[in-house]
Amino acid sequence: MADLVTHSALAVLLKALTRGPMPAVFVLGTVLPDLCSRVPAIALGYVHVHLVRLPALATHGWQPLHQPVGMLILAYLVAMMFQESVRRAVFANLVGGMALHLLVDMLQDHHGAGYLVGFPVWTGSFEFGWIGSEATVWWAVPLAIAAWALTRMRRRAT
């Protein structure tokens, strides 16, 4: 996974450049896969490694929320929390944000581990492996500044 500053900044930049609707929902979509899968997995993983042994479901069960099928169901679940009139648009923006998230993550190289993008239908893994797994650390702050500046310019222009 890339860091969440990079994910959020890229989502803001993309929405600002395309002037697309619902930027907040799109950013939410790009954050949700890590928020719902990595955050609990890392927290429970820490408990498992350092405090008390946990069942495998506690450390592995979140993984599908970072895979396309799980992301679609998660986007549907979250969209259903919104008002009926905007649900389709919210779903589309959430899925778009999640797709951007997965695309950015798949650029990374995990030395052959990859992402199970076809689970549960296909259990092979894939990643482009074009950048290191910590490469985004150097881009995060410049990207965040660019996203903030572009958003500010767009607001002033309107």
What is the binding site for other proteins (CB under 8 A)? Answer: 3-8, 22, 24-25, 28, 31, 34-35, 39, 45, 48-49, 53, 56-57, 59-65, 69-70, 73-74, 76-77, 79-84, 86-88, 90-91, 110-113, 119-120, 123, 133-134, 136-137, 140
Instruction: Name the residue with tokens 């992402």.
Output: 115
Cα separation values, 134 from 109, 137, 140, Å:
9, 6, 11
How far apart, in whole angstroms, are the C-alpha atoms of residue 40 and residue 52? 15
- Of the two residues 52 and 157, which places its CB atom closer to other proteins in the complex? 52
The size of the chain, in residues, is 158
Provide, rounded to whole angstroms, the least separation between the CB of residue 108 and other proteins. Answer: 11
The residues pairing with 126 across neighbouring beta strands, listed in sequence order, are 115
Provide, rounded to whole angstroms, the least separation between the CB of residue 40 and other proteins. Answer: 11
- Of the two residues 19 and 53, which places its CB atom closer to other proteins in the complex? 53
* Count of CB atoms situated within 10 Å of the CB of 139: 17
- Of the two residues 19 and 112, which places its CB atom closer to other proteins in the complex? 112
